[in-house]
Amino acid sequence: MRFARLCASWLAAALIVAPVSAGAEDGYRLWLRHAPRADAAQHRIGPVTLEGSDSPTARLARDELQRALATLFPGQDGANGMAVVLRRIPDPHMREGAFRVAPDRGVVRITAASDTGLLYGVFALMRELGQGRPIDTVRLDEAPAYALRMLNHWDNPDGHVERGYAGRSIFDWWHLPDRVDPRITDYARANASIGINGVVVNNVNARAMMLEPRYIAKARALADTLRPWGIRLYLSARFSAPRDIGGLETADPLDPAVRAWWKAKADELYAAIPDFGGFLVKANSEGQPGPQDYGRSHADGANMLAAAIGGRGVVIWRAFVYAAENTEDRVKQAYSEFQPLDGSFASNVIVQVKNGPLDFQPREPFHPLFGAMPRTGMAMELQITKEYLGFASHLAFLAPLFEEVLDARTGRGGTVAQSVTAIAGVANTGSDRNWTGSDFDQANWYAFGRLAWDPRLPSAQIAREWAAQTFSRNPDFLRAVVPLMLNSRAAVVDYMTPLGLAHVMGTGHHYGPAPWVADLDRPEWNPVYYHRADATGIGVDRTRTGTNALAQYAPDIAQQLAADEDLLLWFHRVPWDYRLRSGATLWQELPRRYDRGVAAVRGMAATWATLAPHVDPARHRSVADFLKIQTREAQWWRDASLAYWMAVSGRALPPGHALPPHPLDWYQAQRFPEAPGE
Ligand code: BDP
C-alpha cells in the first residue's frame, strides 16, 4: 500500500517535471528552474491555500508556489506535510509590495496587505527553498526600498534593440495586439520574481508613432498581460509628437494647443490602460527634440507633460544631456543644467540620472547630481545591457558596479541609494532562447531587480542566490563561482579602462579598443577627448586648475575622489612618470593593470573548466565558448591600448611585459561595421 502510494506520487511528480527535464537546459527558465532538491525525501510538504483574496494576482501566486514545490520536492503527496497559507490582511502600515513569511503552528504563513505583496512573498520563499533552506526555518519580513523598480527597454517598433546583444526585441509589435507572444507572460513572471514593477517598453530615442491609436491598442494588450504580475507599462514619448503626429505647427510646451494635445493623449492612454505608468522622456539630448527648441527649460517641458498625466502617473525626465555647442566639459553639463532647476519640477516628475556623469563606463565616479537636488524626485538609471563592458560575450557581473554607486556617500546627507526614490535599469533581454544572450548576463537582470528591491544587499549574496538557483546549489560549485562573478567586473576595468580611463571604445558600436580616434565631428565623441594623451602625459585635469568638475561634488567627497588612484586619469592630468602611492610610476602601473585584467580572464576560464561536473553540458559549453572570446578580446584590448600609449608617449614598455604582437596601425585598421546593437 505504502509502496503503491509512493509510486503514484512519484509518477505524478515525474509528469510535472517531465516537460522541463526532457529537453536540454537552454537557459530559458532563468533562475526559476526549481531544480529538485537532493534532500527532498526528508521534507513533507503540504497543500498551498489562499485566504482573503481571489484576484488573478493572488491565484497566480498560489499556482506559482504549488508548481515550484512540486518540482523542488518531487514525490510528495501533500498529506501530513507543512502547508503554506497565503493570506491577504488589511494592514495600512504595510507598504505596497511588502510581505511576511513565517512558520506558525505547523504551517508556513505568507501575509501581505496587497496581492502583489503575496506574489513577492511567494517568490521570496521560493528563492530560499531554491537555495536549499528547510521550509520551516524561513522567516522573512520585507518591504521594497523604492516604490518604482523599472526596466527601460531600448526596443524599437521594428524589433531592433538599441544596444541589445540578445537578439531581437521580445515585444512583437508587428503582431500585437492580436497575438501576444506567450513569452511576455514568462518575461513578466521573471520580473515579478525579483520585484520589478514597471516596464518602459520602447526606446528613449522614441518614435512618435508609438502614441498613435494603432500603437496604443498594442500597448494595451501588453499592459493587460503584465498587470496580473504587478507590472505597470510606461511609454517613452517623443517630445515633438504634437507636430509629428498631431498636426500642430509647434511642440512648444507653453503653447495652449500643445498642452491640450498632450492632455487628450494622456486621457486616451488612460482610457485604454487604466494603470498606465506614465512617460519617459529623452529631450534635448543627442539630437532628440525638447523644450529648449522653443527657448523653454527642462522643467517647462516636464511640467507640461506632468500636468497632462495628473495624479494618474509620473513623468520620468532624463538628465542625460550634453550639447554640441557647449564647450563645457561634457561630464559637467548635466549638473550645470539640472541642478539650478531643483524645486521647479512638478511633484509627479522624476529626474532620471545615469549612475555616472559620462555614460555607463566600466568605472566612473557617481553622478554629482545625486544628493544635489533635494527638492526633486530623483531616479538612478543603471545599464544592465553591457554596451561598454564587452556586450554579451564578456562575463562581467555588474552587482559590484551597482553596489559601488548605491553605497557611495554623496556628502550631502546619506548615500546615493538614499538620495533617489526610484531605480531604472536599461534591459538586456531579447529574443535569444536564454533571454540575455549569455547565461551569465541573466545574473545582471537578477542583480538589478534584487538591488532595486533592497539596495543594501551585498553582491556576494546576490551572486550566491542567483548561481544556486540557476546552476547548482552544490557548495563546491558555489565556493568557486561566486568569487569568479565578484571579481569579473574589476577584470573588465583592468583590461579596458584602468586607472580612470573612459570612453576609449570603438566608434558608434563601442566594440573593442579605439583610444586613438580623433576625427569625429563633435569633440566629445572622440576617445582622445577623454584621455588627452601626448608625449608629456595623460588624463583630464578636472581639478581647480582644469575643468573643475570636482567642484560639483560636496567638498569632502571631492577630496576623496581626487585621492582615489583608481580614478586617477578621470580627475587628473599627470606625466607618464607620475609616482603612485605604491612607488610605481604610472608608466609602470598601466601595463600591470592591463596584464592583471587579462590574467584574471584566463583564471575565470580555468576555474569554469573545473566546474563542468556541476553544470549541464549545454550551458557549460556555452559559457566556456564565451570565455574563449573574452580571453582573446581582453588580450586584444591590452595589446591595442599599450601599442597606442607607447606610440603617443614615445616610450618602450617597462621590462617584464610582452610587446603587442602587431604594430599600432594593424589595430587601428580593424573595422566592425556589423557589430550588434548600434
Ligand atoms: C548611450 C548610447 C545610446 C543611447 C544613449 C542614451 O550609446 O545608444 O541612446 O546612451 O542613454 O550610452 O540616451
Question: 243 and 297 share a domain?
Answer: yes
pLDDT tens figures, 272-321: 999 999 999 999 999 999 999 999 999 999 999 999 999 999 999 999 99
CATH number at residue 198: 3.20.20.80
Question: 28 and 137 share a domain?
Answer: yes
Which among 25, 64, 337, 359 is annotated as catalytic?
A: 359
Ligand 1 center from residue 286 Cα (angstroms): 8
According to DSSP, residue 538 is labeled B
Question: 206 and 342 share a domain?
Answer: yes
**Counted domains in the chain:** 2
User: In angstroms, what CA-CA distances link 16 with 26, 68, 76, 118?
Assistant: 18, 10, 12, 24
Does residue 68 lie within any of the structural domains?
Answer: yes
Asked whether the beta carbons of 44 and 76 are under 8 A apart, the reply is yes
Atom of ligand 1 nearest to the CA of 426: 11
Question: For residue 80, what pLDDT band results from cuts at 50, 70 and 90?
Answer: confident
Which protein residues are within 6 Å of ligand 1, measured from CB? Answer: 162-163, 204-205, 282, 286, 320, 359-360, 387
Question: For residue 565, what pLDDT band results from cuts at 50, 70 and 90?
Answer: very high
In the numeric block, the cell 509512493 is attached to 6
In the numeric block, the cell 533571454 is attached to 435
Does residue 601 lie within any of the structural domains?
Answer: no
Question: 101 and 209 share a domain?
Answer: no
Atom of ligand 1 nearest to the CA of 360: 12
Does residue 254 lie within any of the structural domains?
Answer: yes
In angstroms, rounded to a whole number, what is the distance separating the alpha carbons of residues 488 and 510?
19
CATH number at residue 47: 3.30.379.10
Ligand 1 center from residue 267 Cα (angstroms): 30
In angstroms, rounded to a whole number, what is the distance separating the alpha carbons of residues 276 and 235?
9
% of the chain with per-residue pLDDT over 70? 97
Task: Give me 237's grid cell.
Answer: 514619448
Does residue 40 lie within any of the structural domains?
Answer: yes
Question: 130 and 204 share a domain?
Answer: no
150 Rama sector, left if φ>0, alpha if ψ -120 to 50, beta otherwise: beta
Question: 111 and 188 share a domain?
Answer: no
According to DSSP, residue 322 is labeled -
According to DSSP, residue 115 is labeled H
Judged on CB neighbours under 10 Å (0-12, 13-18, 19+), 281 is buried
Question: 27 and 107 share a domain?
Answer: yes
In angstroms, rounded to a whole number, what is the distance separating the alpha carbons of residues 151 and 279?
13
Ligand 1 center from residue 280 Cα (angstroms): 14
pLDDT tens figures, 386-404: 999 999 999 999 999 999 9
Ligand 1 center from residue 203 Cα (angstroms): 10
Does residue 539 lie within any of the structural domains?
Answer: no
Does residue 470 lie within any of the structural domains?
Answer: no
Judged on CB neighbours under 10 Å (0-12, 13-18, 19+), 661 is exposed
Does residue 363 lie within any of the structural domains?
Answer: yes
User: In angstroms, what CA-CA distances link 280 with 189, 203, 317, 447, 650?
Assistant: 23, 9, 6, 23, 48
Choosing from 161, 387, 525 the residue with most ligand 1 atoms within 8 A of its CB, the one to mutate for a pocket test is 387
According to DSSP, residue 37 is labeled P
Asked whether the beta carbons of 32 and 189 are under 8 A apart, the reply is yes
Question: For residue 79, what pLDDT band results from cuts at 50, 70 and 90?
Answer: confident
Q: Which domain holds residue 288?
A: 156-409+429-457
Q: Tell me which H or E stretch contains 445.
A: helix 442-453
pLDDT at 23: 54
Give the residue from 473, 459, 454 showing the smallest Cα distance to 33. 473
Domain end: 142, 170, 198, which one?
142
User: What phi and psi, each to the nearest 5 degrees, are found at residue 612?
Assistant: -50, -40
pLDDT at 326: 85
Question: For residue 21, what pLDDT band results from cuts at 50, 70 and 90?
Answer: very low
Question: For residue 330, what pLDDT band results from cuts at 50, 70 and 90?
Answer: very high
Question: 171 and 128 share a domain?
Answer: no
pLDDT tens figures, 107-137: 999 999 999 999 999 999 999 999 999 999 9
Question: 110 and 180 share a domain?
Answer: no
Question: 369 and 241 share a domain?
Answer: yes
Give the residue from 185, 182, 76 showing the smallest Cα distance to 129. 76
Question: 272 and 209 share a domain?
Answer: yes
Does residue 295 lie within any of the structural domains?
Answer: yes
Choosing from 320, 428, 522 the residue with most ligand 1 atoms within 8 A of its CB, the one to mutate for a pocket test is 320
pLDDT at 78: 73
Question: 346 and 206 share a domain?
Answer: yes
pLDDT tens figures, 187-208: 999 999 999 999 999 999 999 9
The residues that bridge with 279 in the sheet, in sequence order, are: 235, 315
Which among 155, 387, 524, 541 is annotated as catalytic?
A: 387
Residue 468, pLDDT above cutoff 60? yes
